[in-house]
Structures are given as structure tokens and as C-alpha cells.
Amino acid sequence: MKIEVNHFNAGFGNMEILKDINLKIPKHSVTALIGPSGCGKSTFLRSINRMNDLSRDFCCNGDILINSMNIYGDEIDVVDLRKNVGMVFQKANPFPMSIYDNVAYGLRIHGIHDDYEISKVVEKSLKQAALWEEVEDKLFESALNLSGGQQQRLCIARTIAVNPDIILMDEPCSALDPISTLKIEELISELKKDYTIVLVTHNMQQAKRSSDYTAFFLNGEVIESGLTRNIFQNPQEIKTQDYIMGRFG
Amino acid sequence: MIKEYIIEKGLFSINTILIILSSLMVIFLLNESIPIIQNYGIGDFIFGLTWSPDNNIFGILPMIAGSVIITGLSLVLSIPLAISCAIFLEEIAPSNIKKLFKPIIQTLAGIPSVIYGFFGLTVIVPLIRNNFTGSGFSVITASIILAVMILPTIISVSQDAIKSVPENYKEASFGLGSTHWQVIRNIILPTALPGIVTAIILGIGRAIGETLAVLMLVGNVNIIPTSIFEPARTLTSNIALEMGYATGIHYNALFTTATVLFAMIIILMSICWMIQKRGVGNAC
Amino acid sequence: MHVKSIQKITSFWFKLSGAITLAILMIIVSYILIKGIGAINLEFLLTKPVDSGREGGILPMILSSLYLLAVTSFIAIPLGVGSALYMAEYNENHKLEVVIRFISQVLASVPSIVFGLFGLAFLIFFLKTGWSLLSGGVILSLMSMPTIYQVSEVALKSVPEHYKEGCYGMGATKWQCITSIILPTAASGIFTGIILALTRAFSEAAAVMYLVGSSLEMPTSLLDTGRPLPLHLYVLANEGISMENAYGTAFVLIAIVLTITILSNHIISKYEIKLGV
């Protein structure tokens, strides 16, 4: 198991968001987290790379193990953790710098300054993110001039450039048109050969198409999890069934 | 991580420096004012009509009157033009003209006050002397130049206020068949009012505090002016004129004048502060 | 009156007010430039004043102004930007934020002559630093800091939250995020604030008139006395020493201010194009 979550509770201040989460996420797979808005799936995703730590009133207990190491343990350095667990956000957020510098950014902050090495990784990452051909001849133009779908693929390239173990994706296609969405989905299936991917999505079809495993969140709890095929074709819980059939959410 | 900690504490200590320095300023002003307050009383100082350092008589009412009258007159001249100009830039001007005006307002704000004073001295003073009465060094001369000096402050701050009026308010009003002027009068100006008042207060602050331009134009005669063509003396120009040679209790009296100015600014900024807070409350 | 004629009249008045504002600037700037150009020659720019400024040039004043500007930049930029950085990125204490914001708002509006008086009492009489360009520069720094702080804070706070998220998500430390993303994104705003504050410091005469010693000699170090350009113009004009040299000094002053404004706007727009914002 790549990620193992045991009795994990979390919240902000007095507000409890996640209740007793137990989940196992295998490596080199895509796990989709689905559920209605406000069910806690994004909070859970952001617990895996400790992005929630950025709000001071965040508190949690229980364990999240990555490669059998508790990431909330005392000896864990958040900065190293986030290097290992990359994240792609809901809104594409390239930095206001050139395409090249965006991809090189992670390498540079982690102390790599050899230009030849950086240029190799930039090219490799952009190719892996299926963006290379589109941007090859404008690497030094501002990334903000790219289209929304290209920006999101650039963010993926930026994330894989530092060679993480796990990639977290927080509704990466919610702001994109159908064609760009399809491209990102293809990319996700391609990337799972090398990475473990956790994908939060609102889009049931997307979960069905591109994930191997699915976990259904409701009111801060995991109602059901397992193979995507099983969850969609043969859900065990009434609530899961209702959600998948579109009765709420 | 230790590096991060040191950076955070280092940046924090800068704020402490800012607090210490400004406290020091208040302490020095008050400390040097104590002899005046003890010997004369703050009431006699503020309401005294005579300022005669040679005879140890210190009353600043004429200068307060001078500052207030000159500031008021400059506002009367400046506000209509400034607010209209702000409306013009935000509501009427095409975007290329709006862009052109940005450096223009900046330059107007950036011209040294001595230049404004010099311009007043060589252009406005003779203009007033030749066309009206008196020597030309007068309340109106100083007010005209001050009005120009506070123009950029009022324009840019009210421009921000007008800009932040939500688009849908305007659309709703246009949708009902209002003319542009009706939208401006009924929707934009009332909504932007707190920001415009803030702009005016900042303008008042700048006008009361201006020293050299006023000093060069106002004649510096220590009387309460009865006409706009008479000379006057302001609180700031009084300090600038006498700071060079003042000793003993006279030196203290200048500090007390500065303390009065400082108190005026604190009051103005507190009003500004309250308006801003209320504005935020309304927006929520 | 008919609604539509009111609309026409008001619309005309608003356009006119824009034109008047433009005309005021044009009249003042061109008046100074036209009247002053005659006094400008190499000798005026590169020699010392003679006979209190009746004859000779203004080189010591240009140098004094540059010295003051250097001291102010050296002190006010790091302190102003630093405290804004702390407020925008580190501070969790709301009270401290309110206090600092109020202080800077007040300091930004305190009359410059009051700063001058404070400088005289604190630096010259209390710390006994002596009349010098350094003393003047220190007080100008105190005057400039609040403006730099205020503008920088707004610029830093308007850096989009998702840039920071992206950056922390890559495993950047806070300081890395600040230096690589936050400062570059806020740079044009911060730069505007710095230029605004430094232009004011450069133009200031009242705050430093009793701190810099007002000497006409060539300053060779920060500890020397000097007389910046605006103060020189004030003395020349107000004491009626030489109108011709006053126009010349005004020309140089306004030319420098115009150059700074145009150049900085140019740099900012170039930089913003580069960022793509």
C-alpha cells in the first residue's frame, strides 16, 4: 500500500470536517475521491500533503502513512513531504514567469542549479505532460498566455518535474472545456504508470473513466471504497447508490 | 528551519523599530511642550491672540485661523474640480485617455512643493497684486497653489472609490433607462461617498501640513485675516520661520505648535479610520 | 430643465474638468521648463555657487540631493518593505496590524516640518549627530517608510492566494516562496511605492532645512553639511538672491522628477508585460 489512512480525524477550530477516515490507496493507481460539495474530500486530499497546515487553526489526529511512515509524525519535514507528494489545484495556477521557469521552479528551490540538467528535466516533464509540442517554440514566454487546459497541463508538468511519488489532484478539470478535460484524463491514465494519483472530482463520468479505485465521501466520512468498477456497478450502501444515481449532490 | 525563524524574527523587529521611532517622536514633542503647558496653560496657548517671542507671549489662534482658512479655501477650489476629474477618468474617458492621465496625476503629485511655491511666487503673486488689491502675498494666493497641490491626492483616492462601485449597481440603473448623469448622481456618488470623504480628509491633511509653498506665498503676517487678499500666517510656516533661531521657552513654544499640528493630524486620521471601518461594515 | 440637456451639460463639465487638470500641469511644467532652460549650461550644472548663489552653479546641491536619496533608499526601502512583508505574510496578531497601520497612516500625513523639528531635537540636540546630510537622510527615511510600507502591503496582499498554494504545494519553504513568487509578483506595486516615497524625499525641503546645515560647499561625505536642490531653490527665491538661478534650479528639479516618473512607469510596464499580468 502506498497510502494508508487509519482513524484520521480533522477539522478547523471547533468545526469537525473529517470523521474517522480509514482508507488504503495502492501504488501506481488512480484513486478517485467523490462526494457532494462540503463532504470533506478536498480537506482530506490536502491532509495528504499537509497543505491544511497553512491555516493555523487546523487540527487533526489519527495516522496517514505514506510508505509506512506517519506523515504527521514529529520527524517529518513538511517541505520534504510536499516535494514527495505533488499537488495540482482546481484552478490552474502557473506562476507569473516563463513556461520554462515554471517547470524549472521546483528543481531550483530544491537546490538544483545545473542548467543542462534542468533543461533536460523541463523537456522530459513537458513531454510527459503532453504539452511539449504545443510550447516547444515559446518556452520563454509568460505561462499566463497559455489557454486554461494548457496551463493545467503545465501545472502537472511542474509537479512531475521534481519527481514526486504521489500526485494529488483537486478537481483539476472543473474549470476546463470538454476537450481539455479529455486531454487531462488521458494524461492521468498515462501518468499512473509512474505515479500514484489521488483525484478529487465532482464529475462521476470522470471518476468512472479514469480511476481504478473510488472512495465515496459523505459528511466527512468514507461511506464506501473499493474498485471503481464495483462502486459504480454494484454499490453496497444505499447512500452510495443514491449519489451515483444522481439522487442528491 | 533556523534560517526561517531568524528571518521571521528579523522582519518582526522592523515593526518594533517603527513603533519605537514613532513613540519617540510623540515623546519628544510632548516633552518639549511641557514648559509651555505648565507656564501658560494649553488654553491660553491655543486661544491666545498675540505671538510675541520677544515678550514671551505665545498665542497661536491667528495661526490656527490662518491654517484653517487657507485649507478651507483651497478645498473649496479643489474639491469640485478633483471629484469631477475623478468621475471623468473612471466613467467617461476612453481607456487610452485614462491611461494617459495616470502619469499626469503622478507628476502633479510628484512636483516638489517648493516648485509650486516658486510658481506661485512668480506667477500668482503678481497676478493677484496687479488685478486685485494688496501685495499679492495673501490667503487667496496660498489657497490657489494649495488647491493645485491637493488635487492629485483627492483625484486618485476618489478615483479608487468610484472604481470600486459594483458594476451591477450601475447596470441596474442604466437598465431602468437612467441617463449617465442620473447614474452618477444617484448611484455612483452615494456609493463612493465614504471613499470620497476619505480623499478629502487626506487632502485636508496635506493642506494643513504644507509648509514651504505656503510660507513663500502667504505673507506670514501674524493677524487673523479679514479678507482673502490679506496676508496671514499658518502653524507650519510659523515653525519653519522661527525654528532657526528659537531658544529657551520660544523653542518650546514651537514644539507645542508642532504638537497641536500633530494632534490635528491624529484627529483627521481617526475620522478617516472610522469612515473606512464603517465602509467595510457596509460592504459586508 | 430637460433630463437630456442636463446630461449634456454635466458630460461637458466632466470632460472640461479633465482638460483643466491637464492644463494646470502643462502650464506649471512648461512655465518652469521654458523660463529655466536659459540658465542651464554645463557650467551651471558642474560648478559651485558663487556669492551665495547669485553666480556660479549648483553641483553641490545636486550632490547633496543624491546623498540624501542614497541614505533614504538605504534605510527606508529595507525597513518599509520588510515591515510590509511581515504584516502580509507572517503576522497573526490583528492588534499589531491595526497599530502599525494606524501609525503609518498618521506618519504619512504628519507635516514634514514636524519631522524636521523632531529631527532637530532628537538627532541634533539629543544624540548630537551634528548637522549633516546623514541626519537629514535619517529623518527623510522616517518620512518615507510609511508610504513604502502602505503601498507594499497592498501589493503583497494582492498576490493571488493560488500562487502561494502552488508554491507551498511544490515543497517550498516560506522564505523560498516569498523570494521566488511573492516578491516578484508584487514587485511592480512595491516599486511604485518606493518611487513615490523617494520622489517625495527628493522633493522635500522643509523637513531637512534645519538638519543639513544648508552649506554651499561641495559635500564629500555623508557627515558633511550640504544643501539639497529644493532647499536651494527656496533660499534663492524667497530671499530674492537670484531669480535666474532659481529658474535654473527649478528646471533641474522638475527635469529630474519628470525623468524619474517617466522612467519608472516605463520600467513597470515592461516588467508587467514580462510577467504576463
Does residue B6 lie within any of the structural domains? no
Q: Which residues of B touch C111 (CB under 8 A)?
A: 208-211, 236, 258, 261, 265
Q: Under an 8 A CB cutoff, do C274 and A158 touch? A: no
CA distances from A45 to B86, B172, C276 (A): 48, 42, 31
Give the closest-approach CA distance of B226 to chain C in angstroms.
Answer: 25
In chain B, the number of structural domains is 1
Does residue B184 lie within any of the structural domains? yes
Q: Under an 8 A CB cutoff, do B182 and C28 touch? A: no
Q: Distance (Å, rounded) from C-alpha B197 to C-alpha C187?
A: 30
Q: Distance (Å, rounded) from C-alpha C213 to C-alpha C136?
A: 9
CA distances from A235 to A32, A33, C272 (A): 15, 15, 53
CA distances from C185 to B35, B157, B248, C191 (A): 52, 24, 53, 11
pLDDT of B279 reads 57
Q: Which residues contact C148 (CB under 8 A, 6 or more apart)?
A: C76, C77, C79, C80, C81, C84, C190, C193, C194, C197
Does residue A11 lie within any of the structural domains? yes
Does residue B46 lie within any of the structural domains? no
Domain chopping of chain C, boundaries: 42-275
Using a 10 angstrom Cβ sphere, with 0-12 exposed, 13-18 middle and 19 or more buried, the burial of residue A79 is: buried
Give the closest-approach CA distance of A245 to chain C in angstroms.
Answer: 34
The kind and range of the H/E element at C33 are helix C3-37
Q: Is C84 on the interface with B (CB under 8 A)?
A: no
Q: Under an 8 A CB cutoff, do B240 and C206 touch? A: yes
Identify the closest residue of chain B to C7 by CA–CA distance.
B181
Q: Which residues of B touch C85 (CB under 8 A)?
A: 11
Q: Quick check: helix, strand or coil at residue A19?
A: strand
Give the closest-approach CA distance of B2 to chain C in angstroms.
Answer: 12
Q: Which of A105, A145, A151 to mutate to test the interface with C (most CBs of C within 10 A)?
A: A105
Averaged in consecutive runs of 10 residues, what is the pLDDT profile of chain B (284 residues)?
Answer: 89 93 94 92 92 92 96 97 96 91 91 96 95 92 97 94 89 84 90 93 94 94 92 95 91 95 94 76 32
Identify the closest residue of chain B to C109 by CA–CA distance.
B205
Nearest CB partner across the interface for B112, out of C90, C103, C230: C230
Question: Which stretches of chain C score pLDDT less than 50?
Answer: none
Nearest CB partner across the interface for C253, out of B112, B155, B180: B112
Give the closest-approach CA distance of B40 to chain C in angstroms.
Answer: 21
Identify the closest residue of chain B to C249 by CA–CA distance.
B115
Does residue A181 lie within any of the structural domains? yes
Q: Are C168 and A51 in contact (CB under 8 A)?
A: yes
Q: Which of C164, C170, C275 to mutate to test the interface with A (most CBs of A within 10 A)?
A: C170
Q: Is C155 on the interface with A (CB under 8 A)?
A: no
Domain at A158, CATH number: 3.40.50.300
Domain at B70, CATH number: 1.10.3720.10
Q: Distance (Å, rounded) from C-alpha A103 to C-alpha A121?
A: 8
Does residue A249 lie within any of the structural domains? no
Q: Which residues face A31 on adjacent strands? A: A198, A213
Smallest CA-to-CA distance from B66 within B207, B205, B201, B198 is with: B207
Q: Distance (Å, rounded) from C-alpha A231 to C-alpha C262?
A: 64
Give the closest-approach CA distance of C150 to chain A in angstroms.
Answer: 23
Please give the CATH superfamily to which domain C42-275 belongs: MetI-like (1.10.3720.10)
B197 residue type, one letter: V
pLDDT of A37 reads 86
Q: Is A57 on the interface with C (CB under 8 A)?
A: no
C30 residue type, one letter: S
| Residue ranges making up the domain that contains B100 | 51-283
pLDDT tens readout for residues A18-64: 999 999 999 999 999 999 988 999 999 999 999 998 887 899 999 99
Nearest CB partner across the interface for A109, out of C92, C170, C275: C170
Q: Which residues of A touch C155 (CB under 8 A)?
A: none
Grid coordinates given for B102:
495616470
Q: Count of CB atoms within 10 A of residue B270's CB?
A: 13
pLDDT tens readout for residues C254-271: 999 999 999 999 999 999
pLDDT tens readout for residues C22-42: 999 999 999 999 999 999 999
Q: Is C191 on the interface with B (CB under 8 A)?
A: no
Give the closest-approach CA distance of C94 to chain A in angstroms.
Answer: 14
B56 residue type, one letter: N
Does residue A184 lie within any of the structural domains? yes
Does residue B261 lie within any of the structural domains? yes
pLDDT of B284 reads 27
Q: Under an 8 A CB cutoff, do B88 and C82 touch? A: no
Q: Is C104 on the interface with B (CB under 8 A)?
A: yes
Q: Is C94 on the interface with A (CB under 8 A)?
A: no
Q: Under an 8 A CB cutoff, do B209 and C6 touch? A: no
Give the closest-approach CA distance of B49 to chain C in angstroms.
Answer: 23
| Residue ranges making up the domain that contains A12 | 3-244
Q: Distance (Å, rounded) from C-alpha B246 to C-alpha B167?
A: 57
CA distances from A19 to A22, A57, C83 (A): 9, 17, 41
Nearest CB partner across the interface for B209, out of C4, C109, C203: C109
Averaged in consecutive runs of 10 residues, what is the pLDDT profile of chain A (249 residues)?
Answer: 91 90 93 91 93 87 92 88 92 92 92 93 93 93 92 94 93 90 91 94 90 94 93 90 77
Smallest CA-to-CA distance from A64 within A72, A74, A54 is with: A72
Q: Which residues of B touch C28 (CB under 8 A)?
A: 111, 115-116, 119, 148
Q: Is A93 on the interface with C (CB under 8 A)?
A: yes
Give the closest-approach CA distance of C102 to chain A in angstroms.
Answer: 26
Kind of pairing between the strands at A166-170 and A85-88? parallel
Q: How many CA atoms are closer than 13 Å to the CA of B77, on its beta-carbon side?
A: 22
Q: Distance (Å, rounded) from C-alpha C48 to C-alpha B270?
A: 47
Does residue A36 lie within any of the structural domains? yes
Grid coordinates given for A109:
528551490
Q: Is C149 on the interface with B (CB under 8 A)?
A: yes
Q: Distance (Å, rounded) from C-alpha A166 to C-alpha A154?
A: 17
In chain A, the number of structural domains is 1
Angle between helix B139-163 and B189-209 (nearest 10): 140
pLDDT of B2 reads 85
Q: Is A83 on the interface with C (CB under 8 A)?
A: yes
Identify the closest residue of chain B to C246 by CA–CA distance.
B118
